Structure 1
Amino acid sequence: MSERVKPGRAHGLITLAAADALWVGLTADGAVPTAPGAFTCSPARAWVGYVLLGDHAVTMVRASGGQWNVPEDEVRLAATEVNAVAMDRHDMVRIGPFRGAPRQGCSEETPLRWRRRIAEELQESGGPQRAARREAGRPHHLAGIDWRQILVEQTRDGTHRTWWLPRAVVRLLDAAEHAETRWVQAARTRQASAAVTEPSSRPRRARDAGGRQTASPERPTASPRPYDKELEGQLYSVLSRKPGTSSRVAGWACAVCRTEPATVLDHCHEHGYVRAPVCQSCNTLERPDHLYNNDIRVANRYTRLFHTDTDNWLRHWHRCPGCRARTTLPLPHLAAWTAHTACGPLRPTHPAPRGRKPCGVLRVSWTGSQNAPRSCLLTVTVDFCPSGEHRILAQVPYREAAERFRIWLAETAPAVAAAAGPDRLDGLPAQSRPVIADTSGKNLELF
């Protein structure tokens, strides 16, 4: 790892220009691209007392003479944390644009809100490519991350465009947004407390290593509380209309990964029940990368859903009382499981430079719906076969797929299977809802 910066140090503090160069030098070999100007270019704002580097809120110090400085050790810590992030450029998450999202302006006191900032900048400039040509050389960063280098634009039907970022970066920016919110809330709490206890005195200031006074607020220590089934059995249509639901959700940790703060309420679209509060990354992890009419692409990330983190995801899906009582999954989930797990061994391979490579990309479609299981049929196919010889792998009736899943569930997650069954709950909806198949609409959870 290269480090090209030494000047500008004084008692553990370095100037903003030196911090910019240090940040770029320390992260040059990391997987996540970082940007110059992290401390001196928008949206960095030294005068508010902090600057975000990844999910780290770096404290700003105003030394004698009015010059802003930053602790060198905090920059190094933030760089170490960002360098530890492993980024898969093929594991992408859609970040916009979404229909029905209200457009709001960003004031100087607005937190990071990185999705809004990206959307506004791209909409104003006409897209990533045009903006890159018009504004070459201008730093574009959020929390020190150069998002333009990894933003992917996809166009469907020649008109509908979408923007995507790697999942690891989405999680990092979500964590940065949460860290900023906690920092601001802690600072406001201290100001309110100081106004009550010392109304006539100035705010207390810390001293740096050189004896100079600084405006260095303490770092907040509060963390989201674990989710403990507080919303079990409640309908999303009712709960989402209650005042204060959003702030309540933000107080929980994600019920799936248990590490990131929750941002949304995940719910079952077939039965309408709330599953649990989850972070934005986990909320999109189960969404297919391509969705057509009753037709989904089975992405590589399904390995995590059905192999690596199987137990966590099965427990999460069965938080819906309807799915738990049926001992199965919503139709899109069941279709993905059938293609990825039950029919996975049927997928042919082709010669490759290093052994053999699985053929093409799996896709699964269905006719009918879960409301008429006798006529519902799942068809597993291969897209983009190099030789063009492979197409349909299997056709599985819905009832057969559901029975296969029950057997697999009992073998894979016996505790989850034991908690399911038709005798576990009364009062389920008499008729399941149709599957929502529009990820560009208002309700983006799909499942």
Structure 2
Amino acid sequence: MSERVMPGRMDGLITLGAVDALWVDLTAGSAVPTASGTFTRSPACARVGYVLLGDHVVATVRASGGQCSVAEGEVRRAAAELNAVGMDRQDLVRIGPFHGAQRQECHEETPLRWRQRIMRELQEPGGPERAAQGEVGRPCHLAGIDWRQILVERTRDGAQRTWWLPRAVVRLLDAAEHAEAQWVRAARARRASAAVTGPPSRLRQARAAGGQQATSSEGTAASLRPYNAELEGQLYSVLIRKPGTSRRVAGWACAVCRTAPATVLDHCHEHGYARAPVCQSCNTQERPDHLYSNDIRVANRYTRLFHTDTDNWLRHWHRCPGCRARTTLPLPHLAAWTAHIACRPLRPTHPASRRREPCGVLRVSWTGSQQAPRSCLLTVTVDFCPSGEHRVLAQVPYREAAERFRIWLAETAPAVAAAAGPDRLDDLPTQFRPVIADTSGEGQALF
């Protein structure tokens, strides 16, 4: 099949107007919605030397007369990569707003800054409505993706509004930001070298740009080093105060998915130990969906945490020496596990179209805390029951929930269970946090 010839094409280069039409045509069937005017409308700026298409950096070439052109092959390659991305519109990640300033690893060489762009636009007066309308002259896409079509707004307590995007898109935009930073740094190095050796010809520039973009995805992945427990056993409060920690974290690949660049240092809130550097998507997936300080809703994402990617997540949580020594999980995660796994046989079903579906939405709350395990009680309930007949499913004492988890862990992830327990931890930190006293009358006890 011969390649489609586009207007304005010369020696593999096409004009920006032609590439706008080509991008829309090539991505018409993509699960991720794309936008028109990718090269000619804000925030794209082809004159700086590149344009982002998904996580692919496409270089622009300045032709005679100052007109910019793009290699058609690179656009087709970027479209093929985007078309291969699957997207679950129900698997959402909260992108803001958060209390206080959200920490994000974005440096001067990453102009995309997609979270800041979206939040700035949505928080303006009439932001969501103006975003939905896509007013002329306002940013209409990010890396060629039309984020307005997939943005989800939620309102809690009748006042607080939050905004969410599908997880696949969050990972794609995070990867785009990382690829952009890598490209800009490489371009600066090339300019510094050219200042010494002399400027190359435009033909050599085009060939070099094409050669680099052919390997941009591979170069991005190769530039990230795998995490090998370099921070294990160290306190998060100490690490976060050390100069250069954020830049060091940004150099690792996510310790959970191992594909996206790490942006945050995940840590155990109960014991204070650092776990590992993770990407924003995995960090959000792991965070419990708090309704109140002692109440969480068990969302669909727990299917991945406790089913699809169970081994990866259990290993990640047990990077905390405290959780590993006690063979348990932090209280919010243990509560979610109790509702999602241990109480699954108790969850009623209701007839639906040609089948029966689980009743309502699970919610789990607790009284007391893990600091006093004998008095801590987990209560599993059902919200939004269609018939209104189901409320409380079970009440499980903390210690019973922890024992059930130990048994399940040994059956589900034997390697993780074998490395857990106080008698198996010869590499505990010298100043391990003390076991918190159980004030119920039995003194200190592991829980």
**TM-score normalised to the size of structure 1?**
0.89
| Residues 77 and 354 of structure 1: CA distance in aligned 2, closer, same or farther (over 3 Å) | farther
Whether 1:193 aligns to 2:193 is yes
Which residue is 1:343 aligned to?
A: 343
Which residue is 1:176 aligned to?
A: 176
Which residue is 2:39 aligned to?
A: 39
Report if aligned partners of 1:275, 1:317 keep a CA contact under 8 Å in 2.
yes
CA distance in 1 between counterparts of 2:103 and 2:253 reads 27
| Residues 102 and 251 of structure 1: CA distance in aligned 2, closer, same or farther (over 3 Å) | closer
SS at match of 2:374: coil
Which letter does structure 2 place at the counterpart of 1:193? S
Which residue is 2:441 aligned to?
A: none
Whether 1:269 aligns to 2:265 is no
Once the two structures are TM-superposed, the CA of residue 156 in structure 1 deviates from its matched residue by: 1.9
CA distance in 2 between counterparts of 1:14 and 1:330 reads 55
Report if aligned partners of 1:4, 1:21 keep a CA contact under 8 Å in 2.
no
Once the two structures are TM-superposed, the CA of residue 190 in structure 1 deviates from its matched residue by: 1.9
Deviations 1:267-317 (A, max 9, x none): 000000000001111111112345323010111111111111111111000
Once the two structures are TM-superposed, the CA of residue 126 in structure 1 deviates from its matched residue by: 3.1
1:56-75 correspondence to structure 2 within 5 Å: 56-75=56-75
Whether 1:405 aligns to 2:405 is yes
Which residue is 1:442 aligned to?
A: none
Once the two structures are TM-superposed, the CA of residue 419 in structure 1 deviates from its matched residue by: 0.6
Which residue is 2:237 aligned to?
A: 237
Which letter does structure 2 place at the counterpart of 1:186? A
CA distance in 1 between counterparts of 2:332 and 2:290 reads 12
Once the two structures are TM-superposed, the CA of residue 352 in structure 1 deviates from its matched residue by: 1.0
Once the two structures are TM-superposed, the CA of residue 382 in structure 1 deviates from its matched residue by: 0.9
Which letter does structure 2 place at the counterpart of 1:207? L
Which residue is 1:90 aligned to?
A: 90
Once the two structures are TM-superposed, the CA of residue 235 in structure 1 deviates from its matched residue by: 0.5
Which residue is 2:100 aligned to?
A: 100
Which letter does structure 2 place at the counterpart of 1:379? T
| Residues 360 and 368 of structure 1: CA distance in aligned 2, closer, same or farther (over 3 Å) | same
Which residue is 2:317 aligned to?
A: 317
SS at match of 2:52: strand
CA distance in 1 between counterparts of 2:191 and 2:264 reads 30
1:144-163 correspondence to structure 2 within 5 Å: 144-163=144-163
| Unmatched segments (≥5 aa) in structure 1 | 434-447
Deviations 1:312-355 (A, max 9, x none): 11100000000000100000010011111111122111111131
| Residues 331 and 102 of structure 1: CA distance in aligned 2, closer, same or farther (over 3 Å) | closer
Once the two structures are TM-superposed, the CA of residue 253 in structure 1 deviates from its matched residue by: 0.6
Judging by fraction of residues, say which structure has more helix: 2
Which letter does structure 2 place at the counterpart of 1:409? L
Which residue is 1:22 aligned to?
A: 22
Which residue is 1:207 aligned to?
A: 203
Which letter does structure 1 place at the counterpart of 2:18? A
Which residue is 2:357 aligned to?
A: 357
Once the two structures are TM-superposed, the CA of residue 427 in structure 1 deviates from its matched residue by: 4.1
SS at match of 2:161: strand
Which residue is 1:429 aligned to?
A: 433
1:222-261 correspondence to structure 2 within 5 Å: 222-261=222-261
Which letter does structure 2 place at the counterpart of 1:233? G
Which residue is 1:414 aligned to?
A: 414
SS at match of 1:340: helix
CA distance in 2 between counterparts of 1:378 and 1:58 reads 53
Report if aligned partners of 2:155, 2:162 keep a CA contact under 8 Å in 1.
yes
Which letter does structure 1 place at the counterpart of 2:400? E
Report if aligned partners of 1:97, 1:119 keep a CA contact under 8 Å in 2.
yes
| Residues 107 and 43 of structure 1: CA distance in aligned 2, closer, same or farther (over 3 Å) | farther
Paired positions, count: 424
Deviations 1:402-433 (A, max 9, x none): 00000011111111111110222364322569
Which residue is 1:441 aligned to?
A: none
| Residues 14 and 339 of structure 1: CA distance in aligned 2, closer, same or farther (over 3 Å) | same
Once the two structures are TM-superposed, the CA of residue 33 in structure 1 deviates from its matched residue by: 0.8
Deviations 1:244-279 (A, max 9, x none): 111101111110111111111000000000000011
CA distance in 2 between counterparts of 1:272 and 1:432 reads 13
Q: Which has the higher contact order (CA 8 A, sep 6+)?
A: 1
| Residues 227 and 120 of structure 1: CA distance in aligned 2, closer, same or farther (over 3 Å) | same
SS at match of 1:164: strand
| Residues 257 and 110 of structure 1: CA distance in aligned 2, closer, same or farther (over 3 Å) | closer
SS at match of 1:90: coil
Which letter does structure 2 place at the counterpart of 1:430? P
Once the two structures are TM-superposed, the CA of residue 18 in structure 1 deviates from its matched residue by: 1.1
SS at match of 1:65: helix
Detail structure 1 runs of 4+ shifted over 4 Å in the superposition: 106-110, 136-139, 211-217
CA distance in 2 between counterparts of 1:432 and 1:79 reads 55
Give the stretch that moved more between structures: 232-241 or 147-156.
Answer: 147-156
Report if aligned partners of 1:271, 1:432 keep a CA contact under 8 Å in 2.
no
Report if aligned partners of 2:328, 2:406 keep a CA contact under 8 Å in 1.
yes
| Residues 409 and 276 of structure 1: CA distance in aligned 2, closer, same or farther (over 3 Å) | same
CA distance in 2 between counterparts of 1:193 and 1:352 reads 67
Once the two structures are TM-superposed, the CA of residue 92 in structure 1 deviates from its matched residue by: 0.9
Which letter does structure 1 place at the counterpart of 2:269? H
SS at match of 2:165: strand
CA distance in 2 between counterparts of 1:314 and 1:271 reads 16
Which letter does structure 2 place at the counterpart of 1:55? D
| Residues 422 and 217 of structure 1: CA distance in aligned 2, closer, same or farther (over 3 Å) | same
CA distance in 1 between counterparts of 2:246 and 2:77 reads 32
1:265-344 correspondence to structure 2 within 5 Å: 265-344=265-344
CA distance in 2 between counterparts of 1:134 and 1:58 reads 25
Which residue is 2:440 aligned to?
A: none
| Residues 107 and 326 of structure 1: CA distance in aligned 2, closer, same or farther (over 3 Å) | closer
- Percent identical across equivalent pairs? 79
